[in-house]
Amino acid sequence: MCENAKEIQHQWNQEHGDVYIDETGRVTCWISNVDGVKKVKSGFGIHSGNGIVRLTKYVWLPRLNQLIEMAQKPGKRYELTTQDFFDWVKKPYQGSPERPNQLFPSLEQLWLAYVMKQKFGSIWNGSQWIRGSFTGGNTKIVRFRTDL
Q: Is 8 exposed, middle or buried (0-12, 13-18, 19+ CB in 10 A)?
A: buried
From CA 69, how far away is CA 78, in angstroms rounded? Answer: 9
Question: What one-character-per-residue DSSP string does 99-141 give?
Answer: -HHHH--SHHHHHHHHHHHHHH-EEE-SSSEEES--TTS-SPP
What is the chain's alpha carbon radius of gyration, rounded to the nearest angstrom? 17
Domain edges within the chain: 6-60, 64-131
User: What are residue 124's phi and psi, to 5 degrees?
Assistant: -90, 125
From CA 123, how far away is CA 139, in angstroms rounded? Answer: 9
From CA 145, how far away is CA 40, in angstroms rounded? Answer: 32
Closest by Cα among 50, 36, 44, 54 to 20 = 44
Contact 62, 10 (CB under 8 A): no
Q: Residue 146: its pLDDT value, please? A: 46
For the chain, 148 residues long, give each residue's pLDDT as a single digit of tens.
999 999 999 988 888 889 999 888 989 887 765 556 667 777 888 877 788 888 889 999 999 999 999 999 888 888 999 999 999 999 999 878 999 999 999 999 999 999 999 999 999 998 999 987 555 444 455 555 444 4
